[in-house]
Structure formats: C-alpha cells, structure tokens
Structure 1
Amino acid sequence: MSQPPKKKSTLKIPSFTNNHFHSQHNLQKPKMAPVVDQASLDALSSQVDSCLAITSQLATTLGDIYKNPSSTFTAATTSTSTLDAVALSRDASNLAKAQATKISLLIINEPFTPSAITTVVRELAAGPVPAIAAAVQACDPALYTNVFRKEMAWRCQRLLKEIVELVSKIPKNGQVVAEKDRKGFSKQKGSLASTGLLWSAADDVVKLANIGVAGYFIQKINTWRDTLQDVLEELKEWSEQEPDAETDRSEAFSDDDDDDDIDDAQKLVDDLMNSQKTIPEDDPDGIRPRVESTLRRLRLTLHLYQAISKRRLSKLLQVLPSDTAADSDIPKRLDDASVILDRLPDNFSDLATQFYDLDNEGIDSGMSQCFADSSAAGESFSKNWQDETDEFSTWVEKFHAEMTKE
C-alpha cells in the first residue's frame, strides 16, 4: 500500500550566521561604568577638601562658643547682628539636610557623576555650612541668654561634624561607594550610616529653633523637676523603712559567741545585700524630723518649678527675644536663675545620700544649702517680666517663709 506523500513543514528555521551570533552575545555583556575624566575627579577632590577645611574650622569655632557662650566674636558684631538667629539655624539645617541627601544618593548610585557631586558640595560649603555658624554667632546672649546660645552651639557643632563625616566619604576614584560600606538606616535602598546621623543632627537643630527660648527653658525646668521627683520618691521610700530588729539585737548583745555567725558565708552575703542604713528605732540623733522637714520642702520646691513654668516661662514668648530686649534684664535673670535651678536637683540628691549614710553634719549643711537655694530660685521669679508684682509674687513670699522657717 502506497504511503501518502509527507507534507512539507511550514516552520521556518532561522539560520544563525556568525554575525548574528556575535550580535546576540554582545547584548548579554554587562554594562560597563562610563569612564570618568580625570579633570572632573580633580575638581571634585579639590572641592571636597575645601568643604572639609571650611566646615571643620567652623565646627571648632562653635566648640569655642559652647565652652564660653558669653564670648563675642568680631564677625558676629557686624554682619550677623541683624539676623534672626533661630530662624536662620532652622532654615540652614533644613537646607543642609536636603543637600546632604543629594550627596548620599549621588555617591551610591550609578553612574558616578563627579560634576554633579562637585556642584552640590560647592553649594553646601557656600550656603548652609557658613549659615549654621552665623546663626550661632548671631545668637546674642543679651537677647537669647547664655543657656540657649550654649545649647544652639552644641547642636549646630554636632551638625557640622556630621557634615564633615559625610563629605569625607565621597569617593575620589570615580567609583560609587562599595555595597559593603553601605551600612545605613535603609537596607533595602542602600544608604550610608553618616546620612542618618546627619539627618538626626539637623532635626535636633530644627527642634530647638521651633520651641525657641521659652520652649527650651520650659523643657529644661521640666527635666530638672523630674529629677527632683525621683529624689523625693527615693528619700520617702527610705524614710519609711523599718530598722531590722534582728540586726539591732545582734549589735546590742554581740559577744565572742558570735564568731560562728561571722564565719557563715551566707550571713555575710545577706549583710552585704542589706547594708543600707535605716533610721534607728530610738532615733538618738533626730534624723526622722529632719527627713520629714526635707520632704516637705522638697515638695514645695517641686511646686515652685511647676509654678515657674506656668506663671513665668510660658509668658516668655511674648517678650523674648525682641528688638527692644537689648536693654532688658530678662536674659540675665534667666541665666542667673538657671544656675540655681540646675544645681538644686544635684544638691537634693547629695542631701539624700547624707541621710542614707546617717551623716549628721552632712545633713545639716545640705539642708541649709538646699533650702537657701530653693528660696533664691523663687526670688528670681518673684516679679513678672515687666518688673511688676502680681499674684505669683505673693505666692513666692509665702514660699520663702516656708523654706526659711525653723
């Protein structure tokens, strides 16, 4: 039987010539990074070095202001005297953050473009970097207080140092930052740790600018008050502890027969763990009345801190800083009062330690110092910012009487 004729396939098989093969092969080759000309790299290197030198020098200057916030600088008395220091610090920090972000992206993403990086670094060195320093120099203690200027100097110096850290990481070899060196805050996209630190430093400057002088002092006094509250609670808890009756008996009737107990290792451990002294039951030195007196005055001091924040500091927004504040004594009043308000928590903490040690002389001197400082702190805010007496002035008089009475 004859077979039916086979149908010819209509499928066309392409012919692969050598040229076609090489063409397909070339498409699969990895892309090579574009060659960067040496002139662009040299320009980038020069700009980076210049930015680092300027920023480092200004950071040192701000460090000097931080150490001595009452110091004045010639540059600050002329070109920066009319600047709004707070607003300038905020704007410059935001701009520095934005430009630093650009730099971070440019040095971790292909292709590496030295000309673009050079432009951003130049703008950073010419704009926000000197503006950040100028803001601190323009922060005149006669308008903003030494306390606020010191804090601004510290935060702005930290920001400049973080700028130095980031700029110093800009590659000068024409290649982006290696993947292994991108240990930043965003693992998915790749980033630099220095970028996150710079953002944090910039945000801290902006936060300070946003709350201003009044907000910063309120923040400080709340922190001091929290510390005083901790001291109060710890001292109160200690004062309520009862003396160990077993310990009192062993001390009162100790003799040579107790040698076996001394040799007991477990007893030594127990004694060590319970070594804090308590007020003796008979209280021969009159410790307890002094503890109660201290606790009462410590509570009054806590009320004072709260009242200062509400009755005085909250109203600073209306009077400080202002163009007419140059002849005002308000900044000096705040600086002087801050010295006392700052040391009171430490002094009360030291006094509590004297109680824990049952140190009679230390207790007496500590009480005198703490009560006198508390009274002085109240006097610092007796009059309002218009140098007039008011309802709070009357409260301060009563507070003073309570702190000084026997």
Structure 2
Amino acid sequence: MAPPPADALRSLDSLIRTASTLLRQLQAVLAEIHKDPSAKPPPDTLGSTSTSSAPLDALALAHDSASLVRAHGTKVSLLIINEPFTPSAISSVVRELVAGPVPAIVSAAQACTSEKYTATLRRELASRCRRVLVELHELLQKVPQDGKALAVDQKLGFAPGDRGSIPATGILWAACDHVINLARGGVGGFYAQKTGEWRDMLKDVLEEMKEWGDEEPNDHEDGSDDDNGVDDLAGQPGGTNVDAQDMIDDLMSSQPTIPRSDPNRIRPRLESSLRRLRLIILFYEAAIKRRFKKLPALPPTAAESNVPSRLDNVAQVLQRLPDRFEDLAGAFYELQPREIDEAMEQCFADAVGVSELLAENWDGAADEFSAWVKKFQVEISKTA
C-alpha cells in the first residue's frame, strides 16, 4: 500500500499543532471562569454561534457541543487505527472540530452567567467543559506522524503517561457525557445531585460520631498507662524495629473516648448534636424533594428574579455544613467543651439560616414546606 503524500502529512501535522495550541488557550479561558464564575464574560464572547440577538441557551449549547465533540472524537479515533491511513480525512474532522463544537463549548460556559444560571453551576460547567478539551487534546496527540495507522500497543496501552488511543477515546467520551448529563439535568437536577452528595457526607460524619460515642471508655482515664505502652513496645524482641503499621494502628486506637464520669458533660452535647444532625440530614432530603426538584427553568424570564442568587447562597451553606460538622467531630474527639460549644453554635446557626433561605417557594410564597421548615427551626434550636 502506497504511503500518503508527504505534503498531506505535513498539512495534518501543522493542523494538529494549531488545534493543540487553540485547545490549550481555550482551557485557560475555562480555567478563569472556574476560578471566578461571577465574572462577566467579555462583550465579544468567544465563539458566538449565531448572529441573532436571541440569548444563547447555555445548557443546550453545552449539550450539543459536547455531543459533537464526542462524535468527531470517535471519527478521529477510528481513522488513526484503521488502514488505509488517510491524512485528508483526519484533517477534515479536525477542522470541523476547531471551527464548530470546540469554540462552541467554551461559548456555552461563557453564556452560562451567574446572573442567569448561578455561579455554582457555571463553575461546574466550566470544569466539565475544560475536561472535554483536555481529553480531546490528549486524543489529538495520538494522531501518527509517520503515515501509518497505530500499532496494537499504541491503540490499547493503559500505562500512565502512555495511554493508547482507545482508552483515550473512552476517557473523552466520559468527559463529554458528564457535560451532556449536566445539561440534561438542568439547574434543578444539578442542585438536587449536589445536595444529595453533601447529605451523604453528613451521614458519614453522623455514623463516625455515633461510633465514637459508642466506644467504651478506657479505665485508665488519666493516661498513666501511655508510657507503659511505649515501654512494652521497646521491651519486645526487636522492639526498635516495630512495624510502621503497628505504630499507626496504636496511634489511631489511642483516640480518647468520653470518660465514665464525664465531668465536662461531653455526652449530653454529643447526643444533642447527633439528634440535630439527623434532622439536618432530613432537611437536605426534604429540600431535594420540595425545592430543587420543583425549581423553575433557568434562566428566569423575569430580569429581577432573585432565584439564581438565592440558589448560590443556599449552595454555599449546604456545601459548608459537612465541613462544619467535621470540625465539630474533631472537637468532640479532643474532648474540648469550649470548642464543642463554638462548633455546635456555628453548625446549627448555619442550619437555621439555610432553612430560612428555602422557607418560601421559588415564587416567594409560603407553602406546605414552609410550615415544615418552621418546625425544623424550632427543633434545631433545642439544646436538649
């Protein structure tokens, strides 16, 4: 089989280098959006796909762009592994990529402004779109320069830093699917998913704190036996070569538990925290069902709508609460009553605050969930 013309190979190589440069530049644009999702896009938004004055549907554009990148990436993948190797066919697909879906997917992230779609969603969309460009760039680096289709090891390799074209294509597909799924779910679906993830983190903290509270206290509460433990290790045959894992296990098992006498009343604080944490987990579940799954389509039709900013404020607290409770758990493990009280106050103040943000429906009116929120706030405020 005759090799492809040399000029066709040179043209393909030049096109791949140009496309790679563009992809790196656009990755930087998306990285800036991820860094500051509240920043307004430039007036000459890159990659405008229409001369119409109608505003872009950012999520629809992201969906369509990612779908096209996926399809074109598949074509490239097939063309570089099958004979006859045809540089002109690959060049045609790459030109279509850089002229259409590649700039369009960046335009989607730029059009997804915080005022219309929330800063939280914009950051996520920018991150996922950037991942698409990163993986597309990776695939284009697999295009051979010698005029021959890729060998078996070049197609199938899984080694880090030497990934084959087929695994690279699969990873590109996954990145595109993440954008497509985000667009399909819409803003409400995204917030429902993220709230579910944060709820699961709270469940993990709850289980961890409960297990710690159930541990039997050490009879030697004054810690007088600690040195003996070290002496025992040192006194063992070969004690100076104690296994590192044994030392780690010993340190982990030395975490203090609540003393039987409980002079600082740690256990009542723990029981109160666990009770209220269960209520907060229930609140997350209720918010998913009663608020996020009933979220009206965004962007809002009314220019003065406060729904996007309200969602961003809600997300900040819902995301922060798992970290707050991690801090509370750490204070309990250290048996520090003052730190426990401070952390409890922060946790439950945040819980009441975020419930207030969701007390009214998206039209600003009270409903059945509003009454439930009032009861929730009363229960969260109870210290016993």
TM-score, normalised via structure 2 length: 0.88
1:70 is aligned to 38
Q: In 2, distance between residues paired with 1:86 and 1:271?
A: 52
Q: In 2, distance between residues paired with 1:53 and 1:339?
A: 36
Contact 2:46–2:106 (CA under 8 A) maintained in structure 1? no
1:196 is aligned to 170
1:53 is aligned to 21
Question: Which secondary structure does the structure 1 equivalent of 2:258 belong to?
Answer: coil
Partner amino acid, structure 2, of 1:181: Q
Partner amino acid, structure 2, of 1:57: Q
Deviations 1:48-99 (A, max 9, x none): 2222222221111011101111111223499477111111111111111111
User: Residue 297 in 1 paired to residue 281 in 2?
Assistant: no
User: Residue 373 in 1 paired to residue 350 in 2?
Assistant: yes
Choose the corresponding residue for 1:227, options 201, 209, 220.
201
Residue 379 and residue 108 in structure 1: after superposition, are their counterparts in 2 closer, same or farther (change >3 A)? same
2:240 is aligned to none
Q: In 2, distance between residues paired with 1:313 and 1:273?
A: 40
Residue 191 and residue 64 in structure 1: after superposition, are their counterparts in 2 closer, same or farther (change >3 A)? closer
User: Residue 172 in 1 paired to residue 148 in 2?
Assistant: no
1:21 is aligned to none
Q: Show the 5 A alignment for 1:63-212.
A: 63-73=31-41, 74-76=43-45, 79=48, 82-183=55-156, 191-212=165-186
Residue 261 and residue 340 in structure 1: after superposition, are their counterparts in 2 closer, same or farther (change >3 A)? closer
2:242 is aligned to none
Distance apart, 1:333 and its partner CA: 0.4
Residue 259 and residue 77 in structure 1: after superposition, are their counterparts in 2 closer, same or farther (change >3 A)? closer
Q: In 2, distance between residues paired with 1:301 and 1:267?
A: 50
1:15 is aligned to none
1:310 is aligned to 289
Distance apart, 1:323 and its partner CA: 5.1
1:44 is aligned to 12
Question: Which secondary structure does the structure 2 equivalent of 1:83 belong to?
Answer: coil
Q: In 1, distance between residues paired with 2:336 and 2:235?
A: 26
Q: In 2, distance between residues paired with 1:124 and 1:89?
A: 14
Q: In 2, distance between residues paired with 1:384 and 1:150?
A: 25
1:332 is aligned to 309
Higher gyration radius (CA): 1
Deviations 1:146-201 (A, max 9, x none): 1111111000000011111111221233222233312258xxxx953221111111
Contact 1:375–1:403 (CA under 8 A) maintained in structure 2? yes
Partner amino acid, structure 1, of 2:332: F
Structure 1 unaligned regions, length at least 5: 1-32
Partner amino acid, structure 2, of 1:49: R
Contact 2:116–2:308 (CA under 8 A) maintained in structure 1? yes
Question: Which secondary structure does the structure 2 equivalent of 1:353 belong to?
Answer: helix
TM-score, normalised via structure 1 length: 0.83
- Report how many residues are paired: 362
Residue 221 and residue 260 in structure 1: after superposition, are their counterparts in 2 closer, same or farther (change >3 A)? closer
